[in-house]
A = this chain, B = another copy of it.
Amino acid sequence: MCKIFFFLSLFVAINFSSVLGQQDKPIALALHGGAGNILPESIDKASEKAYLSKLEEALDAGYSVLEAGGSSLDAVVTAIYILEQSPLFNAGIGSVLNADGKCELDASIMNGNNLAAGAVAGVRRVKSPIAAARAVMERSSHVMLSGEGAELFAASQKLEMVENDYFYTEKRKESLKKVKEKEKENDDNEGRGRLNESNNYKFGTVGVVALDKNGDLAAGTSTGGMTNKRFGRIGDSPIIGAGTYADNQTCAVSSTGHGEFFIRAVVAYRIAALMEYKGLSLQEAADEVIHKKLKNMGGEGGIIAIDKEGNISLTFNTSAMFRAYRNHKGKKEILIFGE
């Protein structure tokens, strides 16, 4: 009898602790909609409200996935999809136009549980680049597909395909026109050739990082790249290690900024490496990379990141980063300026 009581107690205790454990497990999500050097006075109240509202919508949608017990990957894709389908950001609809007046989109995603990763570069007809990146990760033996080949793969996987003008907005057409006019002026006046494209990287890449109830981290990034870009330029967004990285042992990171510097400094993975190999906290690692390493190289931009405890870092060396988070304590903020 005593023995039965003992086992019964043990059974109850185990179940109780597992329920408690389940309830105690932190969930958290953070996202960005790009970083750059804008000032509060340069953005009107209506625009600011629209940005904050869309960031919140994406945050809530992603967080709901986590609350319902969904995976961090599902949360990342859900939140990024909302930002891709909004014309406010330089990803999906509202992407900037390249030198030929086309939208060429890049995205990547990584699963911190098994270091699986997927990316697409230079796609023109995939409605959701982040969904395509996920399909590459989960349904191909590859990590990175590019151009028409990536579209062929996406179509073979029954992902929704669209015409390129699905992504066009008047605002981006105007931007391209202005950049081209300026370029022509430069040509005419100084014979210096094309406008330095690096002046024009500033805004709107989107990214999400999440921690789910299973303790799995995930990160994703989606972008339209640079206005007037040429030469099949690939930035950091589809590069695992630079634009996106996730490892349950350390953290999940999504980058935004002047991509060339982020590639050279291997920004996303460098933050994970500083945690794994130097024992830094998430925030210490992010500060080291964004405020020291990257800044010393002359690179502008920022990251959002989350660690396995649900701590969040939103770190940038520009004046602004569109960002939102809800952390493991339930605290929620949606912000544009300041750090």
Contacts and interface: CB of A to CB of B under 8 A. Distances in A.
Interface of A: 110, 115-117, 121-122, 140-150, 152-153, 196-198, 230-235, 239-242, 245, 259-260, 263-266, 269-270, 273-274, 277-278, 297
A242 B269 CA distance: 11
Contacts of A259: 143
11 contacts: A115-B264, A117-B263, A121-B234, A143-B259, A146-B232, A149-B231, A149-B233, A150-B231, A241-B269, A273-B273, A278-B278
Nearest to A226: B142
A197 B142 CA distance: 9
Given A121-B234, A122-B146, A278-B278, 8 more contacts: A116-B264, A122-B147, A143-B264, A144-B233, A146-B147, A147-B147, A240-B266, A277-B278
B269 A233 contact: no
A241 to B, nearest CB: 4
Contacts of A140: 231
Interface of A, secondary structure class, is: mixed
Nearest to A120: B232
Contacts of A260: 141-143
A320 to B, nearest CB: 23
A202 to B, nearest CB: 15
A150 B264 contact: no
Contacts of A235: 144
Nearest to A111: B264
A152 B100 CA distance: 14
Contacts of A145: 231-234
Nearest to A116: B264
A46 B273 CA distance: 45
Contact of A240 (B232, B242, B277): B242
Contact of A269 (B117, B149, B266, B274): B266
Nearest to A115: B264
A266 B265 CA distance: 12
Given A196-B141, A231-B140, A266-B240, A115 B146 contact: no
Contacts of A148: 232
Contacts of A147: 122, 146-147, 232
Nearest to A201: B141
User: Which one of A147, A198, A266, A274 has the greatest number of beta carbons of chain B within 10 Å?
Assistant: A266
**Max chain B C-beta neighbours (<10 A), residue from A122, A149, A232, A245:** A232
